[in-house]
Structure 1
Amino acid sequence: MKKITFIILILLSSFSIAQQKEKTEYPQDVDKKTEIKINVLTLVAGPWLDVSYERLIDEESSYGLAATYNTDTNESGLSYAITPFYRRYFSGKFARGFFVEGFGVLFSAREYNYSNFFNYQTNGFETGFALGVSVGGKFVSKKGFSTELLLGVGRNLDRDSDYGAYPRIAIAVGYRF
Protein backbone atom coordinates (compact mmCIF):
# COMPACT_ATOMS: atom_id res chain seq x y z
CA MET A 1 0.00 0.00 0.00
CA LYS A 2 2.86 2.38 0.79
CA LYS A 3 4.38 1.73 -2.65
CA ILE A 4 1.10 2.49 -4.47
CA THR A 5 0.59 5.69 -2.45
CA PHE A 6 4.18 6.73 -3.14
CA ILE A 7 3.77 6.14 -6.93
CA ILE A 8 0.48 8.10 -6.99
CA LEU A 9 2.11 11.02 -5.13
CA ILE A 10 5.05 11.01 -7.56
CA LEU A 11 2.70 11.03 -10.58
CA LEU A 12 0.53 13.80 -9.12
CA SER A 13 3.54 15.92 -8.26
CA SER A 14 5.01 15.50 -11.75
CA PHE A 15 1.76 16.77 -13.29
CA SER A 16 1.33 19.61 -10.85
CA ILE A 17 4.80 21.09 -11.21
CA ALA A 18 4.72 23.61 -14.03
CA GLN A 19 8.01 24.40 -15.62
CA GLN A 20 8.34 27.84 -17.01
CA LYS A 21 10.50 28.21 -20.10
CA GLU A 22 13.50 30.32 -19.26
CA LYS A 23 13.54 33.45 -21.37
CA THR A 24 16.97 34.81 -22.07
CA GLU A 25 16.98 38.54 -22.62
CA TYR A 26 20.04 40.31 -23.84
CA PRO A 27 20.66 44.01 -23.19
CA GLN A 28 20.02 44.84 -26.86
CA ASP A 29 16.55 43.30 -26.51
CA VAL A 30 15.47 45.31 -23.46
CA ASP A 31 17.10 48.71 -23.28
CA LYS A 32 18.35 49.41 -26.79
CA LYS A 33 15.78 50.74 -29.27
CA THR A 34 17.92 52.77 -31.71
CA GLU A 35 20.24 51.57 -34.46
CA ILE A 36 22.70 53.44 -36.68
CA LYS A 37 24.05 51.64 -39.77
CA ILE A 38 26.32 52.26 -42.74
CA ASN A 39 25.94 50.41 -46.03
CA VAL A 40 29.41 49.04 -46.78
CA LEU A 41 28.33 47.58 -50.14
CA THR A 42 27.60 50.98 -51.70
CA LEU A 43 30.67 52.48 -50.06
CA VAL A 44 33.00 49.84 -51.52
CA ALA A 45 31.28 49.02 -54.85
CA GLY A 46 30.09 52.51 -55.78
CA PRO A 47 30.63 56.15 -54.95
CA TRP A 48 27.69 56.39 -52.52
CA LEU A 49 27.70 57.06 -48.81
CA ASP A 50 24.55 55.40 -47.40
CA VAL A 51 23.77 55.87 -43.69
CA SER A 52 20.55 54.79 -41.98
CA TYR A 53 18.78 55.29 -38.67
CA GLU A 54 16.29 52.73 -37.35
CA ARG A 55 14.00 53.01 -34.32
CA LEU A 56 12.48 49.83 -32.88
CA ILE A 57 8.76 50.08 -32.11
CA ASP A 58 8.46 46.64 -30.53
CA GLU A 59 9.91 43.15 -31.02
CA GLU A 60 8.26 42.77 -34.45
CA SER A 61 8.44 46.19 -36.13
CA SER A 62 10.54 49.28 -36.68
CA TYR A 63 10.72 52.43 -38.77
CA GLY A 64 13.66 54.41 -40.03
CA LEU A 65 15.28 56.74 -42.50
CA ALA A 66 18.19 56.12 -44.88
CA ALA A 67 20.15 58.91 -46.55
CA THR A 68 22.32 58.28 -49.61
CA TYR A 69 24.78 60.81 -51.01
CA ASN A 70 26.83 60.41 -54.18
CA THR A 71 30.47 61.35 -53.63
CA ASP A 72 31.29 61.30 -57.38
CA THR A 73 28.51 62.47 -59.74
CA ASN A 74 30.75 61.86 -62.78
CA GLU A 75 30.73 58.11 -62.09
CA SER A 76 27.03 57.68 -61.33
CA GLY A 77 23.81 59.51 -62.19
CA LEU A 78 22.35 59.44 -58.67
CA SER A 79 22.90 62.63 -56.70
CA TYR A 80 21.10 61.90 -53.42
CA ALA A 81 18.26 59.80 -52.01
CA ILE A 82 16.19 60.02 -48.83
CA THR A 83 14.42 56.77 -47.97
CA PRO A 84 11.89 56.40 -45.12
CA PHE A 85 10.97 52.77 -44.38
CA TYR A 86 8.85 50.52 -42.18
CA ARG A 87 9.91 46.96 -41.32
CA ARG A 88 8.07 43.91 -40.03
CA TYR A 89 10.18 41.11 -38.51
CA PHE A 90 9.06 37.48 -38.70
CA SER A 91 11.33 35.65 -36.28
CA GLY A 92 10.82 34.82 -32.63
CA LYS A 93 13.73 37.05 -31.63
CA PHE A 94 13.58 40.74 -30.78
CA ALA A 95 13.72 42.80 -34.03
CA ARG A 96 16.09 40.54 -35.91
CA GLY A 97 15.99 37.73 -38.42
CA PHE A 98 13.91 37.76 -41.61
CA PHE A 99 12.00 40.97 -42.38
CA VAL A 100 9.87 42.60 -45.07
CA GLU A 101 10.21 46.32 -45.63
CA GLY A 102 8.01 48.88 -47.34
CA PHE A 103 9.79 52.05 -48.41
CA GLY A 104 9.41 55.30 -50.25
CA VAL A 105 12.32 57.18 -51.75
CA LEU A 106 12.80 60.76 -52.85
CA PHE A 107 15.82 60.93 -55.14
CA SER A 108 17.65 63.25 -57.48
CA ALA A 109 19.39 61.79 -60.52
CA ARG A 110 21.01 63.00 -63.71
CA GLU A 111 18.56 63.41 -66.58
CA TYR A 112 19.79 62.24 -70.00
CA ASN A 113 18.64 63.26 -73.47
CA TYR A 114 19.41 60.45 -75.96
CA SER A 115 19.51 61.14 -79.69
CA ASN A 116 21.01 57.67 -80.27
CA PHE A 117 22.85 55.05 -78.24
CA PHE A 118 26.28 56.69 -78.60
CA ASN A 119 25.23 60.33 -78.49
CA TYR A 120 23.56 61.75 -75.38
CA GLN A 121 23.46 64.95 -73.38
CA THR A 122 22.74 65.64 -69.76
CA ASN A 123 19.91 68.04 -68.98
CA GLY A 124 20.78 68.56 -65.33
CA PHE A 125 19.11 66.64 -62.52
CA GLU A 126 15.55 65.38 -62.15
CA THR A 127 13.76 64.61 -58.91
CA GLY A 128 11.73 61.43 -58.58
CA PHE A 129 9.68 59.55 -56.02
CA ALA A 130 9.41 55.76 -55.85
CA LEU A 131 7.55 53.26 -53.68
CA GLY A 132 8.84 49.75 -53.16
CA VAL A 133 9.30 46.57 -51.15
CA SER A 134 12.44 44.93 -49.80
CA VAL A 135 13.24 41.68 -48.04
CA GLY A 136 16.22 41.00 -45.86
CA GLY A 137 17.73 39.60 -42.73
CA LYS A 138 19.31 41.15 -39.66
CA PHE A 139 21.76 39.57 -37.25
CA VAL A 140 22.53 41.19 -33.90
CA SER A 141 25.33 40.20 -31.52
CA LYS A 142 24.98 40.10 -27.73
CA LYS A 143 26.97 43.34 -27.53
CA GLY A 144 24.61 45.15 -29.94
CA PHE A 145 26.58 45.08 -33.20
CA SER A 146 24.39 44.36 -36.22
CA THR A 147 24.78 43.07 -39.76
CA GLU A 148 22.03 43.43 -42.31
CA LEU A 149 21.43 42.04 -45.80
CA LEU A 150 18.74 43.75 -47.90
CA LEU A 151 17.40 43.47 -51.45
CA GLY A 152 14.47 45.39 -52.87
CA VAL A 153 13.07 47.39 -55.74
CA GLY A 154 10.80 50.39 -56.03
CA ARG A 155 8.73 51.75 -58.89
CA ASN A 156 9.25 55.38 -59.89
CA LEU A 157 5.89 57.18 -59.91
CA ASP A 158 7.04 59.78 -62.48
CA ARG A 159 6.13 58.44 -65.93
CA ASP A 160 8.40 60.83 -67.85
CA SER A 161 11.50 59.83 -65.91
CA ASP A 162 14.59 58.06 -67.27
CA TYR A 163 14.54 55.90 -64.13
CA GLY A 164 11.62 53.44 -64.15
CA ALA A 165 12.81 51.41 -61.18
CA TYR A 166 14.78 52.23 -58.07
CA PRO A 167 16.96 49.46 -56.53
CA ARG A 168 17.54 49.09 -52.79
CA ILE A 169 20.54 46.87 -52.03
CA ALA A 170 22.54 46.79 -48.82
CA ILE A 171 25.09 44.93 -46.81
CA ALA A 172 25.16 47.12 -43.75
CA VAL A 173 26.94 47.07 -40.42
CA GLY A 174 25.80 49.02 -37.41
CA TYR A 175 25.32 49.32 -33.71
CA ARG A 176 22.18 49.11 -31.58
CA PHE A 177 22.06 51.45 -28.57
Structure 2
Amino acid sequence: MKPFITLALLLCFTFTFAQNDEKSSAIDVNSQNNYEKVHELRLGAFRLLAGGFLDLSYEYINSTASGLGVSLMLNFDDAIETEKFGIIPYYRFYFGDNPEFKGHGFFVEAFTYFYTGDQDEYYFSQQANEVFEDDSFFDVAPGLAVGSKWINSSGFLFQIKLGIGRNLLSNSPDEFVATGDFYVGYRF
Protein backbone atom coordinates (compact mmCIF):
# COMPACT_ATOMS: atom_id res chain seq x y z
CA MET A 1 0.00 0.00 0.00
CA LYS A 2 2.85 2.37 0.81
CA PRO A 3 4.43 2.02 -2.65
CA PHE A 4 1.07 2.80 -4.25
CA ILE A 5 0.61 5.99 -2.17
CA THR A 6 4.19 7.04 -2.89
CA LEU A 7 3.67 6.48 -6.60
CA ALA A 8 0.37 8.42 -6.56
CA LEU A 9 1.97 11.38 -4.74
CA LEU A 10 4.92 11.35 -7.13
CA LEU A 11 2.57 11.42 -10.14
CA CYS A 12 0.53 14.30 -8.61
CA PHE A 13 3.66 16.39 -8.08
CA THR A 14 4.85 15.63 -11.61
CA PHE A 15 1.55 16.72 -13.17
CA THR A 16 1.43 19.82 -10.97
CA PHE A 17 4.89 20.96 -12.05
CA ALA A 18 4.14 20.15 -15.68
CA GLN A 19 0.98 22.27 -15.57
CA ASN A 20 2.85 25.17 -13.97
CA ASP A 21 5.47 25.00 -16.71
CA GLU A 22 2.77 25.07 -19.41
CA LYS A 23 1.00 28.03 -17.77
CA SER A 24 4.23 30.00 -17.32
CA SER A 25 5.25 29.39 -20.94
CA ALA A 26 1.79 30.53 -22.12
CA ILE A 27 2.11 33.68 -19.99
CA ASP A 28 5.61 34.31 -21.35
CA VAL A 29 4.37 34.00 -24.95
CA ASN A 30 1.40 36.29 -24.20
CA SER A 31 3.71 38.81 -22.50
CA GLN A 32 6.06 38.77 -25.46
CA ASN A 33 3.16 39.37 -27.85
CA ASN A 34 1.86 42.27 -25.73
CA TYR A 35 5.33 43.75 -25.48
CA GLU A 36 5.69 43.73 -29.28
CA LYS A 37 2.43 45.67 -29.81
CA VAL A 38 3.50 49.25 -30.47
CA HIS A 39 0.65 50.89 -32.45
CA GLU A 40 -2.45 52.40 -30.83
CA LEU A 41 -5.68 53.92 -32.07
CA ARG A 42 -7.89 55.83 -29.61
CA LEU A 43 -11.18 57.69 -29.73
CA GLY A 44 -12.18 60.47 -27.34
CA ALA A 45 -15.51 59.18 -26.07
CA PHE A 46 -16.83 61.87 -23.72
CA ARG A 47 -16.52 64.88 -26.04
CA LEU A 48 -17.90 62.88 -28.96
CA LEU A 49 -21.02 61.84 -27.04
CA ALA A 50 -21.54 65.17 -25.28
CA GLY A 51 -20.77 67.66 -28.02
CA GLY A 52 -20.11 66.19 -31.44
CA PHE A 53 -16.36 66.72 -31.19
CA LEU A 54 -14.28 63.94 -32.78
CA ASP A 55 -10.86 63.31 -31.24
CA LEU A 56 -9.07 60.47 -33.03
CA SER A 57 -5.50 59.63 -31.96
CA TYR A 58 -2.67 57.42 -33.18
CA GLU A 59 0.37 56.65 -31.03
CA TYR A 60 3.59 54.76 -31.69
CA ILE A 61 5.17 53.37 -28.52
CA ASN A 62 8.90 53.65 -29.25
CA SER A 63 10.24 52.48 -25.86
CA THR A 64 9.08 51.38 -22.41
CA ALA A 65 9.13 54.99 -21.23
CA SER A 66 8.04 57.07 -24.24
CA GLY A 67 5.73 57.33 -27.19
CA LEU A 68 4.93 59.78 -29.95
CA GLY A 69 1.74 60.38 -31.82
CA VAL A 70 -0.77 62.69 -33.41
CA SER A 71 -4.40 63.55 -32.71
CA LEU A 72 -6.97 64.77 -35.21
CA MET A 73 -9.76 67.02 -33.95
CA LEU A 74 -12.98 67.68 -35.88
CA ASN A 75 -15.89 69.71 -34.56
CA PHE A 76 -19.31 68.77 -35.94
CA ASP A 77 -21.30 71.07 -33.64
CA ASP A 78 -21.99 74.55 -35.06
CA ALA A 79 -22.93 75.88 -31.62
CA ILE A 80 -19.27 75.64 -30.56
CA GLU A 81 -17.53 78.55 -32.29
CA THR A 82 -13.87 77.88 -31.61
CA GLU A 83 -11.79 74.85 -32.59
CA LYS A 84 -13.33 73.67 -35.85
CA PHE A 85 -10.32 71.58 -36.98
CA GLY A 86 -7.03 70.77 -35.30
CA ILE A 87 -3.95 68.60 -35.38
CA ILE A 88 -1.95 67.85 -32.23
CA PRO A 89 1.47 66.19 -32.52
CA TYR A 90 2.73 65.06 -29.12
CA TYR A 91 5.51 63.27 -27.26
CA ARG A 92 4.86 61.33 -24.04
CA PHE A 93 6.95 60.21 -21.10
CA TYR A 94 5.54 57.15 -19.28
CA PHE A 95 6.18 56.24 -15.66
CA GLY A 96 4.55 52.77 -15.53
CA ASP A 97 6.62 49.73 -14.60
CA ASN A 98 5.21 46.49 -15.98
CA PRO A 99 7.40 44.03 -17.91
CA GLU A 100 4.37 42.80 -19.91
CA PHE A 101 3.51 46.19 -21.48
CA LYS A 102 5.42 49.24 -22.53
CA GLY A 103 3.85 52.67 -22.77
CA HIS A 104 1.25 52.50 -20.00
CA GLY A 105 0.51 54.03 -16.60
CA PHE A 106 0.94 57.65 -15.56
CA PHE A 107 2.33 59.95 -18.28
CA VAL A 108 3.33 63.55 -18.97
CA GLU A 109 2.83 64.84 -22.50
CA ALA A 110 4.28 67.79 -24.42
CA PHE A 111 2.12 68.85 -27.37
CA THR A 112 1.53 71.59 -29.93
CA TYR A 113 -2.05 72.26 -30.98
CA PHE A 114 -2.43 73.66 -34.53
CA TYR A 115 -6.08 74.60 -35.03
CA THR A 116 -8.57 76.69 -36.95
CA GLY A 117 -11.85 78.08 -35.73
CA ASP A 118 -14.59 80.63 -36.19
CA GLN A 119 -15.40 83.64 -34.09
CA ASP A 120 -18.87 85.08 -34.71
CA GLU A 121 -19.41 88.64 -33.50
CA TYR A 122 -22.67 90.51 -33.19
CA TYR A 123 -22.74 94.21 -32.43
CA PHE A 124 -24.73 97.34 -33.24
CA SER A 125 -23.39 100.11 -35.42
CA GLN A 126 -23.97 103.82 -34.78
CA GLN A 127 -27.00 103.69 -37.05
CA ALA A 128 -28.54 101.06 -34.73
CA ASN A 129 -28.12 98.33 -37.31
CA GLU A 130 -27.17 94.85 -36.21
CA VAL A 131 -23.83 93.84 -37.70
CA PHE A 132 -22.66 90.23 -37.96
CA GLU A 133 -19.03 89.30 -38.61
CA ASP A 134 -17.79 85.76 -39.17
CA ASP A 135 -14.05 85.72 -38.60
CA SER A 136 -12.04 82.56 -39.19
CA PHE A 137 -8.69 82.22 -37.48
CA PHE A 138 -5.65 79.96 -37.16
CA ASP A 139 -3.66 79.60 -33.96
CA VAL A 140 -0.86 77.53 -32.45
CA ALA A 141 -0.85 76.47 -28.80
CA PRO A 142 2.06 74.56 -27.24
CA GLY A 143 1.25 72.96 -23.92
CA LEU A 144 1.51 70.14 -21.40
CA ALA A 145 -0.87 67.37 -20.41
CA VAL A 146 -0.98 64.68 -17.74
CA GLY A 147 -2.92 61.46 -17.67
CA SER A 148 -2.95 57.75 -17.16
CA LYS A 149 -3.42 54.76 -19.46
CA TRP A 150 -4.63 51.26 -18.61
CA ILE A 151 -4.38 48.30 -20.98
CA ASN A 152 -5.45 44.66 -20.73
CA SER A 153 -3.79 41.59 -22.17
CA SER A 154 -5.98 41.50 -25.28
CA GLY A 155 -4.96 45.04 -26.29
CA PHE A 156 -8.03 47.07 -25.32
CA LEU A 157 -7.22 50.23 -23.42
CA PHE A 158 -8.68 53.30 -21.84
CA GLN A 159 -7.00 56.54 -20.96
CA ILE A 160 -7.78 59.74 -19.08
CA LYS A 161 -5.94 62.93 -20.08
CA LEU A 162 -6.16 66.63 -19.27
CA GLY A 163 -3.94 69.35 -20.71
CA ILE A 164 -3.67 73.06 -21.33
CA GLY A 165 -1.84 75.11 -23.94
CA ARG A 166 -1.28 78.81 -24.51
CA ASN A 167 -2.09 80.43 -27.86
CA LEU A 168 0.98 82.01 -29.45
CA LEU A 169 -0.51 83.98 -32.34
CA SER A 170 -3.35 85.59 -30.34
CA ASN A 171 -5.75 85.04 -33.24
CA SER A 172 -8.14 83.01 -31.10
CA PRO A 173 -10.57 84.86 -28.83
CA ASP A 174 -9.26 82.74 -25.94
CA GLU A 175 -5.79 83.00 -24.44
CA PHE A 176 -5.64 79.31 -23.48
CA VAL A 177 -6.92 76.08 -25.01
CA ALA A 178 -7.74 72.86 -23.15
CA THR A 179 -7.35 69.29 -24.37
CA GLY A 180 -8.31 66.01 -22.84
CA ASP A 181 -10.97 63.40 -22.66
CA PHE A 182 -11.77 59.86 -21.62
CA TYR A 183 -10.38 57.69 -24.43
CA VAL A 184 -11.08 54.12 -25.48
CA GLY A 185 -8.87 52.31 -27.94
CA TYR A 186 -6.92 49.30 -29.07
CA ARG A 187 -3.21 48.46 -29.24
CA PHE A 188 -1.97 46.29 -32.08
TM-score in terms of structure 1 length? 0.79
Residue 10 of structure 2 is matched in structure 1 by none
Shift of 1:75: 1.4
Shift of 1:115: 4.3
Counterpart contact for 1:98–1:136, Cα < 8 Å: yes
Residue 88 of structure 2 is matched in structure 1 by 83
Aligned: 1:124 with 2:118 = no
Change (3 A) 1:27 1:37: farther
Inter-partner Cα distance in structure 2 for 1:134 and 1:28: 29
Shift of 1:161: 3.0
Residue-pair matches, total = 153
Change (3 A) 1:113 1:159: same
Shift of 1:65: 0.4
What letter matches 1:135 in structure 2? Answer: V
Aligned: 1:57 with 2:62 = yes
Inter-partner Cα distance in structure 2 for 1:120 and 1:110: 16
The more displaced of 133-142 and 45-54 is 45-54
What letter matches 2:79 in structure 1? Answer: E
RMSD of aligned C-alpha atoms? 2.2
Shift of 1:122: 3.7
Counterpart contact for 2:164–2:177, Cα < 8 Å: yes
Counterpart contact for 1:28–1:142, Cα < 8 Å: no
What are the equivalent positions in structure 2 for 1:98-113 lying under 5 Å apart? 98-113=106-121
Shift of 1:135: 0.2
Counterpart contact for 1:110–1:124, Cα < 8 Å: yes
**What is the aligned counterpart of 1:46 among 40, 44, 51?**
51
What letter matches 1:76 in structure 2? Answer: I
Shift of 1:109: 1.1
Aligned: 1:166 with 2:150 = no
Q: Secondary structure at the match of 1:26?
A: helix
Structure 1 regions of 5+ residues with no counterpart? Answer: 1-21
Q: Secondary structure at the match of 2:84?
A: strand
